């Protein structure tokens, strides 16, 4: 007979999911109520308010999509890109490539701005692309490239897009709650994130936010949104302000309790304090890794505090080391992705996993295993 599943207790220091805060796990186990229950609807309003805080926006269209970060990505593209639309897509890692696929699946034309993996998106190249493509409708880029650990200058990129009357789609899956991000001040038009990184929640929900300009662009479409589930016009009947909360789909009730709790934690800590905590523990981890002779993939100044990519030292068996960390220390660190598979490790310091204890634990486990 198959028994109940009892997962091992791990310390998750990879690219996500990251450790879930115990109070978030506790919130998830509270009794399920109906997704149209008045008590639930009040909680939805609070989630929306706290997401607006996390994104630093007043955008009315701010809501959690009931599916993982990839669905948040698709929500932005399927609503804003119509057949024939030109989209400038920046690629400096795995996730920019997925943006290109999204554009093409929507019938759009992707104009690629390529940068080396492990570097930030070049603001100069984006400026040139905007000048050469005055008919571009959207500029799309990844704020925090989880595949490499590089952070791009979202503020400068969005300012350029505005100058060229271009909408922006920004991937903030790994940056939300971990790095400075100001949706309204920076003029971001459509943004999506994930719950499993710096929000300390389980995977499976994708917060998104659309500016007024983006909402107008969706309204001005000549064709209907090709996805029923992700059409913001329809889902806002459930998540919109003053909406009668009509049934759209059955919300993942307990996963939303988790998101609510994760956002309460963020609010209690303070957004800027959370950004500072990620930076502080990253600096400690960096010092320890460098003392062991490990070299960072990303240059200082373009490094994401919550995702530290270091080259695997010559002669070290990547898979064997990660297996030892898992078996002997119950510690997960991430393998390299795409072009960096087998070449780097990705050490995450995200959300509730971004602690002094975890920095010390990871350094101790790596040192014992490596040296």
Quick one: CA torsion of 275, 277, 278, 283, rounded to 10 degrees? 130
Quick one: CA torsion of 310, 311, 315, 319, rounded to 10 degrees? 60
98 is in an annotated binding site: no
Q: Toward ligand PLP, which CB reaches closer, 143 or 329?
A: 143
- Binding of ligand PLP at residue 174 (CB under 6 A)? yes
- What's the closest the beta carbon of residue 101 comes to ligand PLP, in angstroms? 12
- What's the closest the beta carbon of residue 119 comes to ligand PLP, in angstroms? 16
CA–CA distance, 149 with 166 (Å, rounded to integer): 27
CA–CA distance, 64 with 13 (Å, rounded to integer): 25
CA–CA distance, 151 with 298 (Å, rounded to integer): 9
Q: Which stretch binds ligand PLP (CB under 6 A): 170-178, 312-320, 328-336, 341-349?
A: 170-178
- What's the closest the beta carbon of residue 155 comes to ligand PLP, in angstroms? 18
Q: Which stretch binds ligand PLP (CB under 6 A): 24-32, 120-128, 167-175, 257-265?
A: 167-175
The distance between the two most distant Cα atoms of the chain, rounded to a whole number of Å, is 65
- Binding of ligand PLP at residue 226 (CB under 6 A)? no
Residues from 44 through 103 that contact ligand PLP (CB under 6 A): 68-70, 73, 95
Instruction: State the number of binding residues for ligand PLP (CB under 6 A).
Output: 14
Residue 259, token pair as written in the block: 């998101």
Q: How far, in Å, are 63, 70, 73, 80 from residue 230 at the CA level?
A: 12, 11, 10, 11
- What's the closest the beta carbon of residue 41 comes to ligand PLP, in angstroms? 26
- Binding of ligand PLP at residue 201 (CB under 6 A)? no
Pairing state of beta strands 61-65 and 331-335?
unpaired
- Binding of ligand PLP at residue 171 (CB under 6 A)? yes
Q: Where are the alpha helices (DSSP H) in 142-252?
A: 154-163, 183-186, 212-219, 232-239
How many helices, marked H, and strands, marked E, lie in the chain?
A: 13, 13
CA–CA distance, 160 with 139 (Å, rounded to integer): 10
From the list 64, 108, 178, 194, which residue makes contact with ligand PLP (rule: CB under 6 A)? 194
- What's the closest the beta carbon of residue 98 comes to ligand PLP, in angstroms? 7
From the list 20, 21, 140, 173, which residue makes contact with ligand PLP (rule: CB under 6 A)? 173
Binding mask 123-162 for ligand PLP (x = CB under 6 A): -------------------x---x----------------
- Binding of ligand PLP at residue 118 (CB under 6 A)? no
Residue 70's Cβ-count burial label (10 Å; 0-12, 13-18, 19+) is middle
- What's the closest the beta carbon of residue 343 comes to ligand PLP, in angstroms? 18
Which residues are annotated binding-site positions?
346
Residues that bind ligand PLP (CB under 6 A): 15-16, 68-70, 73, 95, 142, 146, 171, 173-174, 194, 203
């Amino acid at each position: 007979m198959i028994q109940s599943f009892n997962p091992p207790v791990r310390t998750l220091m990879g690219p996500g999911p990251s450790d879930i805060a115990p109070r978030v796990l506790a919130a998830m186990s509270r009794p399920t109520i109906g997704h149209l229950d008045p008590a639930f609807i009040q909680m939805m309003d609070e989630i929306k308010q706290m997401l607006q805080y996390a994104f630093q926006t007043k955008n009315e269209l701010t809501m959690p999509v009931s599916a993982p970060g990839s669905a948040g990505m698709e929500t932005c593209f399927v609503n804003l890109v119509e057949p024939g639309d030109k989209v400038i897509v920046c690629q400096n890692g795995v996730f920019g490539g997925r943006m290109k696929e999204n554009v093409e699946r929507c019938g759009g034309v992707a104009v690629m701005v390529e940068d080396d993996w492990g570097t930030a998106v070049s603001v100069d190249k984006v400026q040139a692309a905007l000048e050469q493509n005055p008919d571009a409708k959207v500029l799309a880029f990844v704020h925090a490239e989880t595949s490499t650990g590089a952070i791009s200058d979202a503020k400068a990129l969005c300012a350029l897009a505005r100058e060229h009357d271009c909408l922006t789609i920004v991937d903030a899956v790994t940056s939300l709650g971990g790095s400075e991000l100001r949706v309204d001040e920076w003029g971001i038009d459509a943004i999506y994130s994930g719950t499993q990184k710096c929000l300390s929640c389980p995977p499976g929900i994708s917060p998104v936010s659309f500016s007024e300009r983006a909402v107008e662009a969706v309204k001005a479409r000549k064709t209907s949104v090709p996805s029923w589930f992700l059409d913001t016009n329809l889902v806002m009947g459930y998540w919109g302000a003053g909406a009668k909360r009509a049934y759209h789909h059955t919300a993942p009730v307990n996963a939303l309790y988790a998101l609510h709790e994760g956002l309460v934690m963020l609010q209690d800590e303070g957004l800027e304090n959370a950004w500072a905590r990620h930076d502080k523990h990253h600096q400690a981890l960096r010092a320890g890794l460098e003392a062991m002779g490990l070299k960072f993939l990303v240059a200082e100044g373009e490094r994401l505090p919550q995702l530290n990519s270091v080259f695997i030292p010559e002669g070290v068996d990547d898979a064997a080391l990660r297996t030892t960390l898992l078996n002997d220390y119950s510690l997960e660190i991430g393998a390299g992705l795409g072009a960096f598979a087998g070449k780097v490790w990705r050490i995450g310091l995200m959300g509730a996993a971004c602690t002094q204890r975890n920095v010390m634990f990871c350094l101790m486990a790596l040192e014992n295993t490596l040296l």
